[in-house]
Amino acid sequence: MTCTVTPTKGKESTNGVFNSTAAAMEYYFNRLLTHGRTNLSYPKIGLYDLGRSLIRFADGGTQVFSEHSKGGGPHSNACLIPHLAQLVLFTLDTSSSPGFPRVALSKNAHVVSQTTELQKYLREERTGDIGFYLSASLILHSPSQWSESMPKFLRIALREVEVPAIALRLIAFTDAVHLALKSGMAKECLIDNLKEHIGKDEAFSGTFADTVTDLWEKRIRNIKTKNDFWDTVRWSTEYYSARSKGTQCRPAKFEGSVRKIDI
């Protein structure tokens, strides 16, 4: 699927306007000025937008997609998630200071700063925009790091979100997105490889959306209790393992380790 709203490859834009990815991204952020101004950096804007996409799926209904995103349903909204992730990765990759040598994405100053902020948020389990930090985890965390942080995110969500079932669905959906987005990558799915992994095939977002929408329809949207949550996490892992032919990113001991943690 080629997305012309947030194109991940400028030359593939169907309307022929963009000659480069940089031009496509600049066009996207300039369009945002028609809705208001912000002093946030481009990567942070992308993370907030990605977080809002995750939160829509926590509602459990379908009307929310029309109300919040002004069109489409679960599948088309799921298709947007890889493009938003790619947008964040691109803006991080191009946000180095001019005149300085380009460094690996994992060593980029903005990545290091955002990683530190995420670590502090989780260490202190403090109040904040949980959608923003979940999207930061999606970009910055390896599968093993997500496994370790998910119970903390769950505690924060249950404390901060007014409806417990929505909190449970939010974390379960984010877990499914981690699985689908990083399947087939090397064990630790480092951020340096994630941008190339998402952008290597224009059909990626469609395949991704098929998987996460199926999981959402069959299990995630029906979560109401903690038992439902843990059963769905286990079911999602088994489900995706059966569908995927590539190397699985999730550590083999994931289920046992998180299910022993008191939330």
Contact, 118 vs 166, CB < 8 A? Answer: no
Output the DSSP codes for 99-124: TSPP--GGG-HHHHHHHHHHHHHHHH
pLDDT of 204? 86
CA distances 144 to 16, 194, 209, Å, are 41, 15, 23
Average pLDDT, the chain: 77
At 23-69, the pLDDT tens digits run 666 666 666 666 665 677 778 888 998 999 999 999 877 777 766 65
Q: What angle do CA 135, 139, 142 make, to 5 degrees?
A: 120
Q: Residue 22's pLDDT is what?
A: 63
Average pLDDT of the segment spanning 71-95: 84
Which pLDDT tens digit goes with each residue over 182-233? 877 765 657 778 877 887 777 888 889 998 999 999 999 999 999 999 999 9
Distance CA 207, CA 204 (A): 5
Q: What is the mean pLDDT of residues 240-246?
A: 61
What is the model's pLDDT at position 101?
A: 52
As a whole number of angstroms, the distance between CA 263 and CA 261 comes to 6
Q: Where are the domains positioned within the chain?
A: 38-259
Q: Pick from 248, 230, 233, 251: which is nearest to 180 by CA? A: 248
